[in-house]
Amino acid sequence: MIDSAADKPLVSIVLPTYKRAHVLPSAIQSVLNQTYTNLELIIVDDNSPDNTPEVVNSFSDERIRYVRNEPNLKLPRALNKGFSLARGAYLTWTSDDNLFADNAIEKMVERLQAGNCDFVYADYYLFSEQDAEGRPLDIHHDRLPDSVQLEKGNHIGACFMYTRKVFEETGDYDPELFLVEDYDYFIRVAQRFKLCHIPEPLYCFRRDENTLYLSRFGEVKASDVLVRYKNRLLSADELLDAVVAILLRNIDGLANPILRWTYRATRRISFRLTKMHEKWVTRYLRRKLSAHVRTILQDYDSA
């Protein structure tokens, strides 16, 4: 246990928020309830049109610092603004609709102080207030892998902490990667620092459909691919294959009516015909998208 003042470096927690005044109090309270008390909470209000200022002002804790953006900056720039104000030796951020376990900060500080890594991440619970019929949903423990394999996707999750050295040497969150700014940041960290896993749920991640991640899930998955390409985890050909795979998950949503009709027809006839149709659609999409994707990548590489 951490039990002396010398062992309690300041932890900076950035909390960006936008139009979530109805859930923000719980997120703030989960930080203030931490067993580790030497922390600062930097709330970055991204020009919310609701009563967010009043919600923040209802808390009298001196550890809270509040800044308001004019105009709206979007999440990556809001994060960068918050971290530019951070004074802590250890840093993290949380969302306005998620919750820390009471001992989350203490556990992550202990792991970083134990040495051998500069970035730590923990398991988390998935939760929702209710399902479509209004019934409470069971909490799900999302267990994360011990070994970091970020080339396969973002499995760090939403509960993490890193040292000031990581912050200073990794740089800002990329403002052009809205929705996947964290994934890109984690990849850049992993290229230079060791990451450690705490196999214990220390966070509650809300999975309601109106959360930013789930409400724009398709955009997130497409952007994930671009992040992997940016960090040289995918070649141009592999990126094209990944884009086609994303499109194939929703063949019914394709613009070409012939593709939609033939897919529905084969799906009614047999599984084998459906798989044959998917192979044909894959070749078709690859041929149609190849030149377009390469043009986009050329523009991206030269930016």
CA pair distance 291, 297, nearest whole angstrom = 10
The residues facing 93 across adjacent strands are: 14
- pLDDT of 185-243, one tens digit each? 998 999 899 999 999 999 998 876 555 444 444 454 556 666 666 666 666 676 666 66
Q: Whole-angstrom Cα distance, residue 208 to residue 283?
A: 36
Instruction: Say whether 259 sits in a helix, a strand or coil.
Output: helix
Predicted pLDDT of residue 12: 99
- The predicted model scores a pTM of 0.73
Residues 10-63 pLDDT 10s: 999 999 999 999 999 999 999 999 999 999 999 999 999 999 999 999 999 999
The CA distance from 240 to 289, in Å, is 8
Please report the beta strands in the chain, taking only residues with DSSP state E, as ranges in sequence order: 11-17, 39-45, 64-68, 90-93, 99-100, 119-127, 140-142, 160-163, 195-206
What is the architecture of the domain spanning 5-215? Alpha-Beta Complex (3.90)
Among 80, 7, 81, 82, CA closest to 37? 7
CA distances 109 to 5, 84, 146, 162, Å, are: 13, 21, 18, 9
Q: 162 - beta bridge partners?
A: 91, 119
Q: Please, where in the chain does CATH 3.90.550.10 lie?
A: 5-215
Question: Does residue 232 contact residue 187 with C-beta atoms inside 8 Å?
Answer: no
